[in-house]
Structure 1
Amino acid sequence: MRFFKNFWKYKGLLTQFIIRDIKIKYRRSVLGYLWSLLNPLLMMIVLTAVFSSMFKFDIPNFPVYLLSGQVIFNFFAEATTLSMNSIIGGGALLRKVYIPKYIFPVSKVLSSFITLLFSLLALLIVIIVTKGNISFVILLFPLPLIYILLFSIGVGLILSVLAVYFRDTLHLYTVLLSAWMYLTPLFYPVSAVPDYVKSIIYSNPMYYFVEVFRDIVLYNQVPDFHTNLLCIIFSAGSIVLGLFVFYKNQNNFVLHV
């Protein structure tokens, strides 16, 4: 409850942090915010050229399949990586004035979330160009976005704490993200992997977030109750654990940054 009261009290400061992060990201860039649209499109074109012939018999509308998974995972990777460095990067400010410390990782996740919203325009363009089906079910697209946003905030809070006390986390997480990406069916169907790999994939939270999103934007079907329930459990569990770990350790941050 205390977190939500502080969140509302310092919402103006949080907004300024988000605006600052977005401006820094695109500073001195000629195309600026257009990169949020062009980057997923260019990556989709390259990966489609590489993988589409390999999986063309198993995956209908491979470009949408690929991009719908890519935008979700890329958001998670960017948001959590930026969050991990946020407390260390804000150390000088933390030592000078009082600022609710959660603002640093949360602002990074929210600024990445805005980039994700731009990326959805790229996904819409691909759906239209590939003549994908669009039905009223697509109106449910905010649901998986809320799931992955909450999950990313929770993971980001935990990583920001770990990075303060264990700087090796910054390097280890890069390796973990690479493995995590390959264990999430972004460019291959689950049916293409052995059974022992499937058991690992089915224990991967990102698999369910991506599947719910694909159900809505690619398959035009309402995600089933079981998958939604798992997403809720992963999201709620992540943010509860993240807040617990963060609040338990935040008072000692100034001693280590």
Structure 2
Amino acid sequence: MLASLKKILKYKYLLCVLVERDIKTKYRRSVLGVLWSMLNPLLMMIITAMVFSTLFRFAIENYVLYLLVGQVAFTFFAESTNFAMGSILQNGALIKKVYVPKYLFPASRVMSSCVNLLFTVPAIVIMMLYTGQTPTWRIISFIIPLILMLAFCMGVGLILSACVIYFRDIYHLYGVLLTALNYATPIFYPESIVPAQYQWILTINPLYYYVKGFREVVYNDGIPELHTMGICFGIAMVFLVAGILIFRKVQNQFILYI
């Protein structure tokens, strides 16, 4: 793992170029450009908040901010891992022509999604002010769950990008899994409504802990709890190490299947 980290540092310039390319490609020919990173979560939050605050009437204080933080965290995971999954296949022509460390492609997709998440921070701050919650110095601590979630997404992205080379059906199966995770994570509903017999679903859902970590900072204006961050760290390390090992084991065979 240490050798892999050293290799990332060696090719950090190329990684930055790939991240810049991914961001430019995403917003190519878009009039508003990166502003969509702010507008998209806000528009989705407004629509979802109207539906759930009117029809279901969850008793959540400042429901709009509660919903926005959950949506932003889940969108980061879904977008980064989805993009990373197809990164090797989409760059197959380049991989066949010149030597480029293959891990750079899924890594750049996850990093570009992280940059997009950072673009949404002003939208979150605006919504905090609009709902009467003044940001304090504690908001800086959101970097802790962000770094841990970045490592988690990187590990998942490496695993998916390697597996989809051999099993293309993963494209479709992963879409179903993301839908299940969306409903299994308390994004638009409070975790208190989950019946006791189904609480175990939350405990085995990695996204539950990351969303909880973000809400502890932004929604509760606090510092991430040590217990929650410990679980997030453990999950991130397990998936990151597994991702690196799986990717390194099969990467030399990619050229035969892409």
Q: Give TM-score scaled by structure 2 length.
A: 0.97
Cα drift, residue 204 of structure 1: 0.6
Contact persistence 2:58–2:189 (CA under 8 A): no
Contact persistence 1:55–1:188 (CA under 8 A): no
1:244 aligns with 2:236: no
Measure the CA separation in 1 of the matches of 2:180 and 2:237: 24
Contact persistence 1:133–1:218 (CA under 8 A): no
- How is 1:209-220 mapped onto 2 (pairs within 5 angstroms)? 209-220=210-221
1:160 aligns with 2:161: yes
Matched pairs, number = 257
What SS is found at the alignment partner of 2:83? helix
Distance 1:57 1:77, change over 3 A: closer
Cα drift, residue 136 of structure 1: 2.6
Matched with 1:181 is 182
**Unmatched segments (≥5 aa) in structure 2:** none
Cα drift, residue 128 of structure 1: 0.6
What SS is found at the alignment partner of 1:77? helix
Distance 1:57 1:94, change over 3 A: closer
Cα drift, residue 55 of structure 1: 5.7
Measure the CA separation in 2 of the matches of 1:162 and 1:108: 16
Measure the CA separation in 1 of the matches of 2:201 and 2:151: 22
What SS is found at the alignment partner of 1:167? coil
1:148 aligns with 2:149: yes
Cα drift, residue 110 of structure 1: 0.4
What SS is found at the alignment partner of 1:153? helix
Letter of the 2:135 counterpart: I
Matched with 1:27 is 28
The Cα RMSD (Å) is 1.1
Letter of the 2:106 counterpart: P
Cα drift, residue 56 of structure 1: 4.7
Matched with 1:75 is 76
Percent identity reads 49
Letter of the 1:82 counterpart: F
Measure the CA separation in 1 of the matches of 2:222 and 2:23: 34
Measure the CA separation in 1 of the matches of 2:188 and 2:175: 20
Measure the CA separation in 2 of the matches of 1:187 and 1:171: 24
Cα drift, residue 57 of structure 1: 5.3
